Amino acid sequence: MAATKEKGTAVPSAGSPPSELAPEELLAAYRIMVLSRAVDDRCLTLQRQGRIGFYVPGSGQEAAQVGAARALHTEDWVFPAYRELAVALSRGVPLERLLDQFIGNSGDLLKGRQMPNHYGYREFRFVVASSPIGTQITQAVGAAMAAQRRKDPVVTITFFGDGATSSNDFHAGMNFAGVYRVPTIFFCENNQWAISLPREKQTHSATLAEKAHAYGFPGVVVDGTDIQAVFRAVSAARQRAADGEGPTLIEAQVYRFGPHSTSDDPHRYRSDAEVAHWKETDPLKRVRELLMKAGLLDEARDSALVEEARTQVSVALAAAEKAAPVAPGTLFEDVFAALTPRLEAERAEFEQLVHEGVIKL
């Protein structure tokens, strides 16, 4: 049976953040959502074709991610899990650079050293995702504590799923944040399934958001398919954090339409009827309807926008697939400022073996 969405209200703030996205901002947000969905559709196919090794889709969670991202300030730091493509696009990360990372070519700033779909960009204050569940939560809190001590007026936000609320890092991070009143937003995308484990088998608490109360700060539940509700909640939480009032836990109720990753088969643990039920509140459909009511979109313009996104993905992919592979010699870089004598000798030996054809690249 499909989980029901609980209702909640945004945490009140002493300041006056924007109450909602203006129509023009909503159109810009919708473009990002459509692009994110187009990337998902294409990358799932690319993985099946063997052109990328792994992918984590976020279809169904676009409104939660874009709504949250648009409530942040440029100087804020994002600590994502591995499903926050729409957040990265909202922060301005170029699509081609993301595809470079998925492929692991010479344009990949991480030089092929991370799993595909585990990207990060200092320029956009978007920290590299890691595979262990929940580690980004304590990282976000630590960064916020450091900023607090430096009197650096930034807020950190960490994204995670419902499964991460059972991790050690979630509880350690929440406790430190509460004790030190750090400027962190905990953004839980409750997509109802921790891979194959349903939310109701993970915890007996009525909501995930109420776990914040034990640590001394507010928790709020929002409909994560409603971009305006998410924007309001994150705007209010950011204002609280910036005003020195401490952290907030936001539980955005969403649904993962696709698999947990390309290594997963969701048909083994959930019904088609459940997916169909949640697709009735597809976040793209909801924003599209708002834009049509505002007169900023019609069927023809929407179709053109979707086609434009697909073309954008194709163009970026073509460029990424033409890029050279990562130079093999880079495996000796970035550990030491200057290579140790032993590493210098190993690099010279490696280059000689490549030159002689003993190692084939």
Helix, strand, coil content of the chain in percent (nearest 5): 50, 10, 40
Question: Do residues 33 and 171 share a domain?
Answer: yes
Residue 349 domain boundaries: 327-361
Residues 170, 301: one domain?
yes
Please identify every residue annotated as catalytic.
256, 260, 269
Tell me: do 338 and 238 sit in the same domain.
Answer: no
Q: Determine, yes or no, domain membership for 344.
A: yes
Q: Is the residue at 16 inside a domain?
A: no
- Kindly report the CA angle at 59 between 53 and 65, in degrees rounded to 5? 105
Please check whether residues 248 and 354 belong to one and the same domain: no
Q: In angstroms, how far is CA 248 from the centroid of its own chain?
A: 18
Q: Quote the tokens at residue 243.
A: 């005003």
278 with 359, same domain: the answer is: no
| 93 and 106, same domain (yes or no) | yes
Torsion 102-108-110-112 (CA) sign? positive
> For residue 12, is pLDDT > 70?
no
Could you tell me the pLDDT band of residue 16, with boundaries at 50, 70 and 90? low
Same domain, 214 and 333: no
CATH number of the domain residue 205 falls in: 3.40.50.970
- Give the pLDDT mean for 328-357: 92
Task: Please classify residue 195 by burial: count the beta carbons closer than 10 Å to its beta carbon, then call 0-12 exposed, 13-18 middle and 19+ buried.
Answer: middle
Positive or negative, the CA dihedral 260, 265, 271, 275 is positive
Are 253 and 334 contained in the same domain? no
Q: Is residue 2 in a domain?
A: no
Q: Indicate the number of domains in the chain.
A: 2
Same domain membership, residue 279 and residue 353: no
**Would you state the pLDDT for residue 10?**
39
**Residues 271 and 307 occupy one common structural domain:** yes
For the stretch 168-194, pLDDT in tens is 999 999 999 999 999 999 999 999 999
| pTM (predicted TM-score) | 0.92
Whether residue 341 sits in one domain with residue 234: no
Q: Is residue 69 over pLDDT 90?
A: yes
The per-residue pLDDT for range 289-305, each reduced to its tens digit, is 999 999 999 999 999 99
Q: Which residue has the tokens 């969905």?
A: 37
Same structural domain, 204 and 349: no
Cβ count near 47 (within 10 Å) = 20
- Whether 126 is covered by a domain: the verdict is yes
Once rounded to an integer, what is the mean pLDDT over residues 82-96? 97
